């Protein structure tokens, strides 16, 4: 089901400790497309991804997140997005299934068990879903993050370093997820990897933005 998502960023600026990470970031992301955030280490990819997710607030600029032409308030944004990132913490002592139950309980997310089973199958963890996360390899933890992100079938999927710790099978699963997500909504990928860019329709290069803002 299409959700008619539209994201518009107008002159976004982020400052940490008086240092401007980026400024004048503007883009429009429409339904059915993927946007890449590229740039070297420290250029602000994760920072921008967090601003889009509503985890961080920008110092200047405007950000409009709308579904079917209705603007979504910042506090509700999490309901409409899934976020895969290196800084998502999992409870090591709980099983993958328990982690998902805790997370969806806290966030009051709706999902059905059939969808959950198919997600575990999709990410190749069906047989390991009852094992504590501390027994997972790093690639298995990364795969689990995709199950988390897709659980509530969000219209926006934000991937920060999407291929972290993944083997070639894991990377093809990610690309399948990206292609499927573009049928249902939109994708934002923060990456340093050129191959990831092939799946994106437009690119924000933060290196260029940093250079421009220093002029």
Ligand X SMILES: Nc1ncnc2c1ncn2[C@@H]1O[C@H](COP(=O)(O)OP(=O)(O)OP(=O)(O)O)[C@@H](O)[C@H]1O
**Euclidean distance between CA atoms 134 and 6, whole angstroms:** 38
Kindly report the number of other CB atoms within 10 A of residue 145's CB atom: 20
Task: Give 201's DSSP letter.
Answer: S
Q: Which residues lie near ligand X (CB under 6 A)?
A: 16-17, 21, 39, 41-47, 192
The verdict on 46 binding Mg ion (CB under 5 A) reads: yes
**Partner interacting with residue 192 (select from ligand X, Mg ion, none; CB below 5-8 Å by kind):** ligand X
Q: Token pair for residue 172?
A: 């093809």
Q: How far is the CB of 54 from ligand X (least distance, A)?
A: 16
Minimal distance, residue 14 CB to ligand X, in Å = 8
Q: Which of ligand X, Mg ion, none interacts with 57 (beta carbon under 5 to 8 A by kind)? A: none
H/E element holding 160?
strand 156-160
Q: Which of residues 20 and 66 has its CB atom nearest to ligand X in the complex?
A: 20
CA distance 211 to 22: 9
The DSSP call for residue 78 is G
| Residue whose Cβ sits closest to Mg ion | 46
CB of 17: closest distance to ligand X in angstroms? 6
| Minimum distance, C-beta of residue 166 to ligand X, in the bound complex (Å) | 16
# residues near Mg ion by CB under 5 A: 2
Q: CB under 5 to 8 A by kind: which of ligand X, Mg ion, none does 130 bind?
A: none
| Residue ranges of E strands in 31-120 | 34-38, 60-67, 70-71, 81-84
- Torsion sign across C-alpha atoms 189, 193, 194, 199: negative
Nearer to ligand X, 10 or 56 (CB): 56
Choose between 55 and 97: whose C-beta lies nearer to Mg ion: 55
**165 φ, ψ to 5°?**
65, 5
Q: Per rule CB under 5 A, is residue 95 in the interface with Mg ion?
A: no
The 3-class SS string of 105-135 reads HHHCCCCCHHHHHHHHHHCCCHHHCCCEHHH
Shortest Cβ distance from residue 100 to ligand X (Å)?
26
Catalog residues that contact Mg ion under the rule CB under 5 A: 45-46
């Amino acid at each position: 089901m299409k959700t008619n998502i539209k994201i518009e960023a107008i002159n976004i600026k982020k400052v940490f400790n008086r240092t401007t990470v980026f400024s004048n970031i503007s883009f429009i992301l429409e339904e059915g497309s993927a946007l890449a955030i590229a740039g070297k280490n420290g250029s602000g990819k994760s920072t921008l991804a967090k601003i889009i997710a509503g985890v961080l607030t920008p110092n200047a600029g405007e950000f409009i997140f709308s579904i079917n032409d209705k603007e979504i308030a910042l506090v509700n944004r999490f309901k409409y997005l899934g976020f895969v990132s290196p800084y998502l913490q999992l409870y090591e002592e709980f099983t993958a299934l328990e982690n998902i139950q805790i997370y969806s309980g806290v966030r009051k997310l709706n999902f059905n068990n059939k969808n959950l089973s198919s997600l575990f199958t999709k990410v190749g963890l069906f047989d390991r879903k009852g094992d504590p996360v501390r027994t997972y390899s790093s690639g298995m933890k990364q795969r689990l993050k995709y199950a988390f992100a897709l659980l509530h079938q969000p219209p926006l999927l934000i991937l920060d370093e999407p291929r972290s710790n993944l083997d070639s099978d894991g990377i093809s699963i990610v690309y399948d997820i990206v292609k499927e997500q573009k049928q249902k909504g939109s994708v934002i990928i923060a990456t340093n990897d050129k191959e990831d860019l092939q799946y994106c329709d437009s690119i924000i290069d933060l290196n260029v933005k940093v250079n421009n803002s220093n002029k």
